[in-house]
Structure 1
């Protein structure tokens, strides 16, 4: 039976990574040990289920609007990104959580409910720590919006009655001169604020009744403008990454055409199909995220249309990955190095086992380095992050499938930015360090869209990780970095499943953390037991 060959240098690096990871966590926990968290829900983790949020929302709507009979519902997770970022930046998040989160949570479940009798659509925000109704709105038809413009009813009086009904004293709230773009009346509290963020109540009135009620601490305009600039910068960085990645894909396609007589075209098919299948499945799994994309409310058909567009993009990405796999392997063979052994090679099964072992060790080192970078960024440069509904497991149809994306990321990014990217830039710049650095920077630019501020810090962190993966690729080959990348993402994504601590989620997370090892053992077993003989003189066996 084939055995895993361990590398002593990587064992030492893995040990260093474990020490860094556990040491940073211990220091971070020690610095916050004095906080009184007894009987307090963990921020960002629901204390109720989506079904409980749905029930609370329907009960409220039936009482508020006199709706009889069942309603069609759909539940998503949402967050107030801007005020959350402001509180993080000003180090007010802990104070807010203690004083205001029970009434005005930053994270909540949004329940979309459709009245089957008249087709009216309601959006109800439910505090996912105590089931309280936080805000709601009724989608206004064209006819109803017209009544807002022509009605002579006293909208201000109706809005004030809504404040009194909810025990919000009129003396404390001042109606702002300006109103919302949607015709809402906005009241600002004269006493309730945190930092420079006042409590504001947005109330919609139409047809002589309240059709929308939303309380929210509103971040100062200066911070909102700063965060918008940061998001714009992240968008530009992402576009730059896409532009260079497109250039690399075209270069790979040209290389494949030039070397077509020497290329085995079936060699990259399996990995490309795996990427495509996992990514398409993940897009479908994230249907709830598409329902709330960019903070808007998409209908079912609009969300499905977005899914079709995204899956079309996935097929274009798959084509790019396929030509990168083919071109990258052939370019390294041209340099006299077999960076990715062919599966028909006698050494392939053993190389998979060795790559898996090296990959796990390398991933432990990278996790430690990443944790240290996060710690330095937070303590020295005051970097902070906000929750992102578009990537949350709470906005997935089957959260247990999410860690499979580790394999899509590992295959695609190591194929494009390591196997092919380093070979391409080495040909262009004729310098080994620059050849590793440039594709790492392009890869890092594509990660700046995550809600981590300031956005340039993610670029620095991922570039450093890219350098580690790049030199590991040059030392150990493509299989090792694919397993290292898949192992690292499997661990991180697995941890996202066990935040609530349920036995099922913990078991699922552990399975995914062990999956790279299972995959390697299965491949090695079937490679050894294959019925067809290996070619007598396969190029990889030279």
Structure 2
């Protein structure tokens, strides 16, 4: 970091640091990118069908097999669903490779597209069809007055909310179910009826097919004298489900008490110290970045709003209310960013005599930004390598594992290619709150830069515990290491450099996610996301080369 009043000059990157950056990138590619590429090339069907194609196949199936007739006031909406419980169980027990090799993922996929039928008068769907995302093959359906289309993929995905028809005898249920089993290519003689399965109507078990402790089930429900739903697949053992529930409860508490409340406290302190340090800081400089943060956050929110509701008045009101809530939350977070920028800049300038966030009119600003871009990319490569090594260590020490999450999937975004904008939200807000303001504020209390860095890093790490990674303790351990490195980058190179390193780090991870989706638009967006931080920084460099008097800002 430069001293206040001194010409700006970014620290030079040593050969050793450049070497570590190259090594970090190689480690990341070898252990995270290459295995995914290898697995993708080994599979027959790795290209996801379009939602339009899934919708068309679902309508065709419903018309031919379920007696559906198209109507003008109805529409089909397609969403991505996942059985995160069963996938997590297989991930935990190292069963995923065998599941794929045996091609069970094609017949009984844990990831599906669910096409649900909505009418303009009803909030809930009256019909849903699940399809294999890669082949388009129908794998489940449900019909009735209230189809529970909000559940995750799995045995209960297409279950009708109403209880199964109790007026039917077991023999009548079998007579209705057998034609569907034959339609599915299953020999009913090889199946056994599961006793005490009244909640599902009728459950067949194929004991010849087993994944760990999970047996293959064919679940039927009945309504008005006919089959109302059919789903074939596996369920995670009850002990695994209980474990995840306990871990999720712990993650919720850590997020609330370890992240939420401390972050709000930092926000209040940022407001107070922005006022107290008003003579040593600027209240105008944070306006642009916090406004940009608010706009990006709203775009991201809109992009992630679910499209699963119908066109009824109730559904529209619900959507509007949710959007207002998200808008207020975005305003709160952008305000927290603003006061962290203002208060943090004032604290460092007045109490340390350091200049962590330079102004554009200061001598050497343009080159300083360009050099900060280089620092950001090199350190992002190092961080990717460190994270990869942490994953390997935690897999051997804590046996950590991860699972799927439909709520965070780009497949459920309106425009998947917009995913990388989240990287800019994290890079701006988190580095401003926990590094620019948080470290200096906590140092006033604990009298130690290291302790202050550790405390703010832990707060930041606890905010990521609701991600589907288990055990929950593995996530704070990993991010404490990453967060301390971010703190080091900030203290050594300043706010602009650490912001770039964070944005590049996340952009590479999110860009890779888009590239693996394989659609041309997503591949292009993924590549662009990785180079975008450089382009943004270079534009700022070009704009400020002449050191024009009017003050602009970046960082």
Task: Tell me the distance in 2 between the aligned counterparts of 1:389 and 1:458.
Answer: 20
Match of 2:341 among 320, 325, 329: 325
Q: Where do residues 308-387 of structure 1 align in structure 2 (5 Å cutoff)?
A: 308-334=324-350, 335-387=352-404
Task: Tell me the distance in 2 between the aligned counterparts of 1:343 and 1:146.
Answer: 60
| C-alpha distance 34-252 of structure 1, shift in aligned 2 (>3 A) | closer
Task: Tell me the distance in 1 between the aligned counterparts of 2:551 and 2:305.
Answer: 45
How many pairs are equivalent? 521
On the 8 A contact 1:332/1:423 being kept in 2, the answer is: yes
Name the stretch that deviates more: 437-446 or 188-197: 188-197
Task: Tell me the distance in 1 between the aligned counterparts of 2:34 and 2:545.
Answer: 50
Q: Which residue of 1 aligns with 2:153?
A: none
Secondary structure, aligned partner of 1:47: coil
Task: Tell me the distance in 1 between the aligned counterparts of 2:174 and 2:344.
Answer: 65
On the 8 A contact 1:176/1:188 being kept in 2, the answer is: no
| C-alpha distance 107-156 of structure 1, shift in aligned 2 (>3 A) | farther
Q: Which residue of 2 aligns with 1:65?
A: 66
TM-score (norm 2): 0.86
Q: Where do residues 10-21 of structure 1 align in structure 2 (5 Å cutoff)?
A: 11-21=15-25
CA deviation digits over 1:163-188, x for unaligned, max 9? 442234445232331433xx644444
User: How far is the alpha carbon of 1:351 from its aligned partner?
Assistant: 2.4
Task: Tell me the distance in 2 between the aligned counterparts of 1:483 and 1:38.
Answer: 36
Task: Tell me the distance in 2 between the aligned counterparts of 1:514 and 1:14.
Answer: 18
CA deviation digits over 1:276-330, x for unaligned, max 9? 11111011111237769xxxxx956544533332222111111111111111111
| C-alpha distance 98-533 of structure 1, shift in aligned 2 (>3 A) | closer
Name the stretch that deviates more: 420-429 or 261-270: 261-270
Match of 2:111 among 90, 107, 110: 107
| C-alpha distance 65-41 of structure 1, shift in aligned 2 (>3 A) | closer
Q: Which residue of 2 aligns with 1:540?
A: none
Match of 1:131 among 121, 132, 136: 136
CA deviation digits over 1:232-275, x for unaligned, max 9? 12111111211111111111112123233443211111110111
User: How far is the alpha carbon of 1:345 from its aligned partner?
Assistant: 2.7
Q: Where do residues 80-229 of structure 1 align in structure 2 (5 Å cutoff)?
A: 80-99=83-102, 100-114=104-118, 121-140=126-145, 152-154=167-169, 157-158=172-173, 161-167=176-182, 168-171=186-189, 172-180=191-199, 184-229=201-246
On the 8 A contact 2:360/2:547 being kept in 1, the answer is: no
Name the stretch that deviates more: 156-165 or 243-252: 156-165
Secondary structure, aligned partner of 1:192: strand
User: How far is the alpha carbon of 1:434 from its aligned partner?
Assistant: 0.7
Match of 1:441 among 458, 461, 464: 458
Task: Tell me the distance in 2 between the aligned counterparts of 1:235 and 1:79.
Answer: 21
Name the stretch that deviates more: 435-444 or 234-243: 234-243
| C-alpha distance 397-149 of structure 1, shift in aligned 2 (>3 A) | closer
Task: Tell me the distance in 2 between the aligned counterparts of 1:393 and 1:534.
Answer: 38
| C-alpha distance 289-86 of structure 1, shift in aligned 2 (>3 A) | farther
Task: Tell me the distance in 2 between the aligned counterparts of 1:450 and 1:507.
Answer: 27
Match of 2:291 among 251, 264, 273: 273
Structure 1 unpaired stretches of 5+: 293-297, 536-542
Secondary structure, aligned partner of 1:85: helix
Match of 2:430 among 404, 410, 413: 413
User: How far is the alpha carbon of 1:138 from its aligned partner?
Assistant: 2.4
Match of 2:26 among 22, 25, 30: 22
TM-score (norm 1): 0.87
Secondary structure, aligned partner of 2:465: coil
Secondary structure, aligned partner of 1:498: helix
Q: Which residue of 1 aligns with 2:263?
A: 245
On the 8 A contact 2:165/2:223 being kept in 1, the answer is: no
User: How far is the alpha carbon of 1:503 from its aligned partner?
Assistant: 4.0
CA deviation digits over 1:122-177, x for unaligned, max 9? 121101122111112225259xx999688734376235522442234445232331
| C-alpha distance 307-157 of structure 1, shift in aligned 2 (>3 A) | farther
On the 8 A contact 2:283/2:342 being kept in 1, the answer is: yes
Structure 2 unpaired stretches of 5+: 1-7, 148-159
CA RMSD of aligned residues (A): 3.2
